[in-house]
Amino acid sequence: MDVKIVLGAKDGKSYQKELKDAAADALHNKRIGDTVSGEEIGFPGYEFLITGGSDKCGFPMRKGIQDARKKVMIGKSVGFSGSDRNDKKQKGLMKKITVCGERVTKIIHQVNLKVVKEGPQPLAGEATEQKQ
């Protein structure tokens, strides 16, 4: 299982790294809101919180959904783009969109992590910086 992770640091910068094999398996079956030890994914001393992600087709992960993929009616929240021309003008607009579940499975391609506890080494030295 290969997974790309996006690490959100406390200073507001984000870093991206690709995990393979054993490091990626450490995230398998974790849910949004779970904490992950940095030692498991190659960042000793760090602790991360899973905040979201997307599957191989780009559908966003959403907390509270148990299935692999599901169509749900939502208002302005996770997965709601608002890119249509009338979306910004209408209050209370709801759409039926496809989202994937909160569990990290083999179809998840990207996982977003937030730093909860900082380690001795800076994230920039171990991962490549992503332009914002």
CB distance 6 to 113 below 8 Å: yes
pLDDT digits (tens, 9 = 90+) for 24-71: 999 999 999 999 999 999 899 999 999 999 999 999 999 988 888 899
Ranges of each domain in the chain = 3-129
Q: CA-CA distance, 122 to 18, in Å (whole number)?
A: 17
Structure pTM? 0.81
**Which residue in 53, 54, 45 sits closest to 125, CA to CA?**
45
